[in-house]
Amino acid sequence: MHSLTFSNMSKAYGGVPALADVTLHLAGGRVHALMGENGAGKSTLIKLIAGVVRADSLTVIKDGQTLPLTNAQDAQDAGFRFIHQELNIVPQVSVAENILLGRALPRRFGVAVDWADLRAQARAALKFLGATHIDVRALAGDLPAGDKMMMKIAAALVAAQGTPADLYVFDEPTAALTGEESDMLFAVIERLRAGGAAVLYVSHRMDEVLRICDDVTVLRDGARVSTKPVADTSKAEIIQAMTGRDVKDAYPPRSSAMGDTIARVENVQTRDLHDLTFDIKAGEVLGVSGLAEAGQSRLLRLFMGLNRVQSGRAEFDGAPLPNSPAQAWARGVAYIPRERRADSLCLNMAIRSNIVLPHLGRYGLRAQKRRERRDAVDMGQKVRLKSNGPEQPVGQLSGGNQQKVVFARALLGNPKLLLLDEPTRGVDVGAKYDIYLLVRELSAQGCAVILTSTDLPEILGMCDRVLVLQDGRQAHLLDRAALSGSGDLLTRFYSAEQGGQ
């Protein structure tokens, strides 16, 4: 079994330390969790050992020998493989090409690319992952998020052929996966561990860390707070180490009454949704649930004017549904899409500009920038954004903090209807609880909320009613009594569905 030590890891950006003198010991056959709040330095640590960001200091010792590590090739040669937080895929080419990206492509007679061989190798890698349903000839950009992740993992495995890999690093791999896909991934990690590789695993999901990891290191503000075997610690202790405070891993109760109906949908059919009939009241939190891609995002997009009503009746705030996103924002509908980075942020623009983007109509010409700044700072504080100020480009923020910018944008301008698509994905425990509190606060102000989540406890903890979708069709509309009642319909629905697959 190999032993790996990364010591004195430091990195500062413009004089601000992102990682300060951190040391990490990893061992073959063990899965090591790396935890910490958004912006704690996890991805920075990973980028240093991947050689993609230049370290201010870093020493790598493998089995007693010091290794050079100044670029990505060094990391490859050392046997390190990475699945980064931002999935760098090439959407316009096939899955097979993405999987073999960066390797010498198989050639026939030394000239033409041997497509059959290419596809066979890609298929073999996907088979190892248990992801045989992915067509290697499909365009990578067309895959659902979970399949994109599987494709990236397959690429890391393929890169590992030839040179043996001793370390696999996963940066929040399950953030975009469904429960089923996560289980598939855990089985793969188990296989890698059994094969003697060391695994470094970043996740905000406490339960999965406790389930699959052997050791856990916690970072806070770029420094290492603790390292312990998972068996010798607890959820509460990890949260305390991460946040320096006691944070509840729970759901705040509803404290206000609901108001009048604000949106109503009757027998609505769109190109890809059917049989929708429900209403939502001011202050209500309506959950939308179902298996992956059952239509949850499409349902939210209906209220953004991005999915047209073909038949049936639908109204919001006394008028037909908005017919464009601009109109939706102007009428008080705020939206947090699932693919936040890709769908909603301008990475090279300032935090301020990103937050005020859909609200520009609110600002006159006078003192516009000053008022924008004030709003951006206010909203940033509300969501506990960690940044160097409102003018910092969003692309420089940690993954979780980028998401908070999207949140801040949605909260600006007192929405009447807030659409949340997987709002707590990739968000740390502290921020997660803050988001729940914000939802409660908005409810109390009369804002209706529609929330999708693949996290069943989150749905049960936050929602007043739950609409269950099945292949784009409304299958159930469950009220609180049905949710908390003895039968617990939703849980049964989930297990029946998943058991049946």
Residue 397 contact partner, candidates ligand ATP, Mg ion, none, CB within 5 to 8 A by sort of partner: ligand ATP
In this complex, which beta carbon is closest to ligand ATP, that of residue 43 or of residue 182?
Answer: 43
In this complex, which beta carbon is closest to Mg ion, that of residue 172 or of residue 464?
Answer: 172
In this complex, which beta carbon is closest to Mg ion, that of residue 76 or of residue 401?
Answer: 401
Give the CA distances from residue 455 to residues 205, 343, 449, 497, in Å, rounded to whole numbers and listed in that order.
Answer: 11, 22, 17, 15
Distance CA 200, CA 61 (A): 16
What does the block give as tokens for 271? 């190109």
Nearest residue relative to ligand ATP (C-beta): 400
Residue 484 burial by Cβ neighbours in a 10 Å radius (0-12, 13-18, 19+) = exposed
Distance CA 462, CA 440 (A): 9
Site for Mg ion in 35-94 (CB under 5 A): 43, 85
Other CB atoms within 10 A of residue 129 CB: 20
In this complex, which beta carbon is closest to Mg ion, that of residue 19 or of residue 140?
Answer: 19
Cα 416-417-423 angle, rounded to 5 deg: 130
Tokens 């860390």 correspond to: 209
Residue 289 contact partner, candidates ligand ATP, Mg ion, none, CB within 5 to 8 A by sort of partner: none
Q: Cβ contacts of residue 159 below 8 Å, gap of 6+?
A: 76, 81, 102, 103, 165
Residue 203 contact partner, candidates Mg ion, ligand ATP, none, CB within 5 to 8 A by sort of partner: none
Smallest distance from ligand ATP to CB 87, Å: 14
Residue 39 contact partner, candidates Mg ion, ligand ATP, none, CB within 5 to 8 A by sort of partner: ligand ATP
Contact set with ligand ATP (CB under 6 A): 13, 18, 36, 38-44, 85, 386, 396-401
- Longest alpha-carbon distance in the chain: 74
Residue 18 contact partner, candidates Mg ion, ligand ATP, none, CB within 5 to 8 A by sort of partner: ligand ATP
Smallest distance from Mg ion to CB 176, Å: 13
In this complex, which beta carbon is closest to ligand ATP, that of residue 225 or of residue 306?
Answer: 225
In this complex, which beta carbon is closest to ligand ATP, that of residue 371 or of residue 386?
Answer: 386
Alpha helices of 282-428 — where are they, by DSSP H?
296-303, 325-330, 340-344, 351-356, 368-382, 399-411
Site for Mg ion in 390-409 (CB under 5 A): 398-399
Smallest distance from Mg ion to CB 166, Å: 23
Smallest distance from ligand ATP to CB 399, Å: 3
Nearest residue relative to Mg ion (C-beta): 43
What does the block give as tokens for 305? 């004017």
* Interface with Mg ion (CB under 5 A): 43, 85, 398-399
